[in-house]
């Protein structure tokens, strides 16, 4: 997704907020292999994630999200809906749509 492109269509359903949360994630078929990352934004429906390792689009990730306002990490799952490897940013970026997360956890992320 390249925002400067004339073909760019913004399909966002919800307003994004900047959010830099520390996140660990794993793939459901390899739960013991954990990757470390950071979010760059969050919304009611998902979050933007900085990636050191690319993942397949439509892959579902098991997330553990650490926020400064919560003593317990938030556990969630999200499906990769887009990736940007354009070189516009230092790291690869992906957009995840939450597939499993509690409403109180979403409120914590947006607080």
Going by C-alpha positions, the residue among 70, 79, 82 that lies closest to residue 22 is 70
| 79: phi then psi, degrees, rounded to nearest 5 | -100, 135
pLDDT > 90: percent of the chain? 59
Query: CA-CA distances (angstroms) from residue 26 to 7, 20, 85?
Result: 33, 19, 20
> How far is the C-alpha of 98 from the C-alpha of 94, rounded, in Å?
13
Domain ranges of the chain: 17-106
SS3 107: helix
How many Cα atoms sit within 13 Å of 65 on the Cβ side? 31
Each residue's pLDDT tens digit, 39-85: 999 999 999 999 887 788 899 999 999 999 888 999 999 999 998 86
The tokens for 53 are 């390792």
Instruction: Give CATH superfamily name and number for 17-106.
Output: predicted glycosyltransferase like domains (2.40.10.220)
């Amino acid at each position: 997704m390249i925002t400067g492109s004339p073909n760019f269509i913004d399909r966002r359903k919800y307003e994004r907020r900047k959010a830099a949360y520390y996140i660990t994630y794993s793939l459901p078929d390899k739960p013991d292999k954990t990757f470390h990352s950071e979010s760059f934004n969050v919304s009611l429906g998902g979050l933007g994630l900085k990636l050191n390792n690319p993942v397949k689009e439509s892959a579902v990730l098991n997330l553990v999200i650490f926020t400064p306002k919560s003593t317990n990490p938030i556990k969630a799952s999200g499906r990769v809906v887009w990736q940007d490897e354009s070189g516009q940013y230092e790291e690869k970026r992906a957009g995840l749509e939450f597939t499993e997360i509690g409403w109180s956890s979403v409120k914590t992320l947006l607080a």
